[in-house]
Amino acid sequence: MSRKNHAVGFFVRGPPSGSRTSAGLRSLSVMPRAALVVLLAGAAASACRARDSDLPLYGYQAGSTANLDRLGREGVVFDAAYSHCPLTLPAHASMLTGLLPPRHGVRDNLGFRLSPDHPTLATRFKAAGMHTGGAISAYVLRAATGINQGFDFYDDGIEVHGGTESAGSLQRDGAVAVDALSKWVRDQRGARFFAFLHLYEPHTPYDPPERHRNHPLLYDGDISYADELVGRFLDSLKARGMYDRALIMLTSAFIAKPCTFR
């Protein structure tokens, strides 16, 4: 019997203050000096079986994701992580609050706002004395949705000029979000922080830069571009001596297709 579900990739890399165990990250520092969360939205981080997966880390053969692969090799890879909703705003509300959509009340990309009654990861890290910063790439995650609560800094600058695009397709190049958050991290000057980076790649219309168009599918090229962006942000941490002091978690909000499990 097979079943279909929206499984997402999820992997974690922590500071080398403890050893990895089969039980996960219990031996790592609970509160490292810097906490970094990278959330890759869209369909890139799929944890399906090899024939359905979208990442080489999970067995996909056509992709090119050297940075994500390296992050997985250095950390712990989970192969049974599931999205709560195949929509961007509700899925991220669940990701940041730990609540299912019926509990946090955000059920669609438009017409809903996350209530301040539901604290987010940023809220909790801020209460613990950490600086909090985020940068997003999708219009449906703009501050007006309430998803920004708890963040000292939240970069959501996406220009909207009308037209026929759906709200879910309004986005900006992930490089803009990477640059904005990298600048914020640089300005922390050694402070303990929680950083949230949201990338919309890969997402329709699958329009990667020319240097990533050597793949059979533009979708794979968009995955490769997302990998480049993640690597660019991680390199900025390394350049500032922060990488090995960070707890790095990378996942996706959902994937664009069902996965088959046996």
Q: What is the length of the chain?
A: 262
Q: Residues 130, 192: contact at Cβ < 8 Å?
A: yes
pLDDT for 208 equals 75
Cα-Cα-Cα-Cα dihedral sign, residues 69, 234, 243, 24: negative
Q: Tell me which residue has tokens 């961007």.
A: 88
CATH number at residue 140: 3.40.720.10
Strand ranges, E, within 41-192: 76-82, 131-135, 153-155
pLDDT computed for residue 50 by the predictor: 34
Question: Is residue 221 included in any domain, yes or no?
Answer: yes
C-alpha–C-alpha distance, residues 152 and 145, integer Å: 16
| Residue at 162 is within a domain | yes
Q: What is the pTM of this model?
A: 0.79
pLDDT at 223: 83
pLDDT of residue 250: 86
Q: Is residue 47 part of a domain?
A: yes
CA-CA distance, 251 to 81, in Å (whole number)? 9
28, part of any domain? no
Q: Check residue 59 and give its pLDDT.
A: 52
Q: Structural domain tally of the chain?
A: 1
Residue 13 lies in a domain: yes
**26 part of a folded domain:** no
pLDDT tens-place string over residues 79-93:
777 778 888 899 999
- Within-domain flag for 255: yes
| Nearest CA among 100, 39, 81, 47 for reference residue 251 | 39
Residue 25 lies in a domain: no
Residues of the chain with pLDDT under 70: 1-12, 14-63, 160-169, 212, 215-217, 254-262
Question: Domain containing 220: what range?
Answer: 8-18+33-261
